[in-house]
Chains A and B, each alone.
Chain A
Amino acid sequence: MIVAITGIILILFVIGHLLGNLQIFIGPDWINGYSQHLRDLGPLLWAVRLFLLAAVIIHIWVTIQLAIENRRARPEAYMDKQYVKATFASRHMVMSGLIVLVFIIYHLAHFTVRVTDNRFTLLRADPLGHYDVYSMMVYGFQNYLVSGFYVLGLFLLALHLSHGSSSFFQSLGLNDKKLTPRLALGGRIFTWLLFAGYTSIPVAILLGLIKPAQQL
């Protein structure tokens, strides 16, 4: 239940975040404006950030507790185990989740704290002191390794959500026999759209479809 609710919060964030990021395709002004908007929220932004952080921590804390209990529930493993229906994604939620966590930490370090790439400090702010997020993303993703890691991280997030995005309906009891298969399918479509949306950014940059707005 707690996992489901925190999961939904995170999903909502992921959707919003994607919508924000996709503005890169419209042009530097849009995304930079969006970013500035967020920053202008001031304390409110921090509230949202803290809220999300809390959601992440609770989500992880509870799922790890549950996972430990689950381990204990089967002290002796099968010598041979075949799954009939359980998908790979559903069986490896902790694994995919934790890699996503590593990704999130890297991602924050990369674009929010900006400690991984010292070129970012060279980016000039505009006259009003607005940071050029657009160019940062472009420079960030021009590196194949960085983009590769993002795609991998997103892939695992997608894997996580391909189960999670329909699973929470069941956890909340919002399910019945007819609905289950439809929700599962819907969840999977939703997830891979999300994946396509996010990866489109580094891919577009690598293909040179999006160019930085300023030279370093």
Chain B
Amino acid sequence: MIGTFDAKIPPGPLAQKWRSHLDHSRLVSPNNRRKFEIIVVGSGLAGGSAAATLGELGYRVRCFCFQDSARRAHSIAAQGGINAAKNYQNDGDSIYRLFYDTIKGGDFRSREANVYRLAEIANNIIDQCVAQGVPFAREYSGYLANRSFGGAQVSRTFYARGQTGQQLLLGCYQALCRQIAAGTVQMFPQTEMLDLVIVDGQAKGIVTRNLRSGKIDRHAADTVVLATGGYGNVFYLSTNARGCNVTATYRAYKRGALFANPSFTQIHPTCIPVSGEHQSKLTLMSESLRNDGRVWVPKRKEDREKAPGEIPETDRDYYLERKYPSYGNLAPRDISSRAAKEVCDEGRGVGPGGRGVYLDFADAIKRLGEDRIRERYGNLFEVYEKITGEDAYKVPMRIYPAVHYTMGGLWVDYDLMNNVPGLFVIGEANFSDHGANRLGASALMQGLADGYFVLPNTLPNYLAGQTGKRPSPGAPEFQEAEENVQARVEKLLRVNGTRSLDSFHRELGLLLWEKCGMSRHEKGLREALQKIPELREQFWRDVRVPGNEEDFNQSLERAGRVADFLEFAELMCMDALERDESAGAHFREEHQTPDGEALRDDERHAAVFAWEFQGDGQLPKLQREPLHFETVHLTQRSYK
């Protein structure tokens, strides 16, 4: 294995770890910073904030994204909000409570030290964003407003209408623009990273393809930061943008970076149900809707075809309120999703194909008036109407769970560095903070914590020892990586078969949704593990990628991503199979409590599963990082 597999958690009491780590980390002095070149792949919340902050500090940064502008990274789509334990509501919130909720929400499969640091930094993020001009919602007094989110009993979520991710990302983007203008950051839009270059056992560069001109380039640097987001699109249909992919992280994995918990996938309970075969993506309806909407299905199967208004109160089953009286409609995502699947499996689902449940605002409208509801969720209701043609002020929304977020990602230590020295991974691309399930409004928090505050303070710890070690792009390792990328591009174009990319991607997605989706079992996973290689083999025999490589070629772009998904899917299923317990979003049907909740096996599986690539056609090697809980008590999660 390259490098070391050690989480390097600083010693000392939980609340002092980060502080004392900062006290003892190495630094790079201001006038030495410009001697270091840093590659940041990704311009989302994580990458954008990191690139801007590192530029501010005086490093020379090159930032890459595949979109035509840094501002279009997928973080832009986040709706609901961002958490912080400011306790502005005076409702008993604290850093410890945010930490505890996040650890518990993740079903005790994340590191205490990382999560505590996240909870501590969350407050600084809000300060920073306000200073940048993020127009968070405010009360009439002029102070910041909060709303509640799933998995918490306090109101700690900051928001900007239903467009929090957009506003936070624009804050980063603007900071990034400032650095671009100042010349510290060089931006490479529409440039996709296709390989990681490791020189002398350290990450020292990348190979990219300019998506517009088709040109393949080498970039050498002192360190490489990956902030390439999540890979939910392996399922084909998800709430992610079309371009989201696993390519950057998977390529790094193939170069020796450990990949942690790849099977941990969050299925979001409130999405607009699938309407047809040609659907290209699923649209999320922010979880914040569950603040005022009530989830229900008919009590009896026979009623599912009836118009919702014709079903009297007594014949409705508000199943979340019934099963989880204290959290009710705000039960965490994994639990709400599974509950929806369950009632639909019982045949009580509504809408086309019986794959939907109602999210009903009638009571809230009666209580608060339509105007208040419009003020809170107007844009979401509009989106819903555009897509379905239905008016949710009059008839309840129909929702169904959809793939949304991937807790898994490249393995990182406390410094957010991978086992490959010099390779840092931040944001959704790493596995660090959310365990087996992420709570709402905490991905934005993590991405910005990583980029604004953690990485800029941990990166020097590595860089301090790297003066003068930057290789030249002419080094043989770069040569080899470039040839590798070139060969793959040519190979994709050469197949010249008959089937379209989407048809393969769709087939893969469906397979995973069934076998490695909301609930999994050994038999299904084994079937998937058998089918994926077959599909992959077909792909390389029969896919048709039109056009050529020296041109703007969207099919070629996507082909590379689908090819990586076809390999990565196998790793996911292996991880899901190997994790022989249920935890958070990973629900193994073999392991459940009598009332159908996830049943962990802390004895055997209180660990991070990190996978090491062993070569094409070889089984990857599983490494386990045991999780130690010194402060919290492992309990069966209960939201009743």
Asked if A and B form a direct contact in the complex, defined as CB atoms under 8 angstroms apart, the reply is: no
Q: Which A residues lie at the B interface, using CB under 8 A?
A: none
